[in-house]
Amino acid sequence: MNENIAIAQGIFDLVWALFLLITIVDIVRSDFKDHGKLKWFFIVVMTFGIGGFFYWSIGRKEKMAKHNNNDIFNEFENDDE
């Protein structure tokens, strides 16, 4: 019985660590307004991952929209015609 509990705890820890890793990588690779990256990083790290749930529910809405740089080049190519 204790072995089953240990295995379940190990699986839970692995899933939790993967969740934290994915959350931190998403924060680091994203662009935010007004030091949002630093804010969300510290919220996730200082709350031992519980802040990750807040990030996925609230923080992702604070991300800046990414622009497609290819659209700029396409505009210049069309101007030559």
Q: How confident is the model over 24-47, as pLDDT tens digits?
A: 999 999 998 888 899 999 999 999
Task: Answer yes or no: is pLDDT of 70 > 80.
Answer: no
* pLDDT in the model for residue 44: 93
What's phi and psi for 32, nearest 5 deg?
A: -125, 165
> 23 exposed, middle or buried (CB, 10 Å; 0-12, 13-18, 19+)?
buried
Confidence band, pLDDT 50/70/90 cuts, at residue 48: confident
* pLDDT in the model for residue 32: 87
Query: Structure pTM?
Result: 0.71
**17 with 9: CB under 8 angstroms?**
no
* pLDDT in the model for residue 63: 81
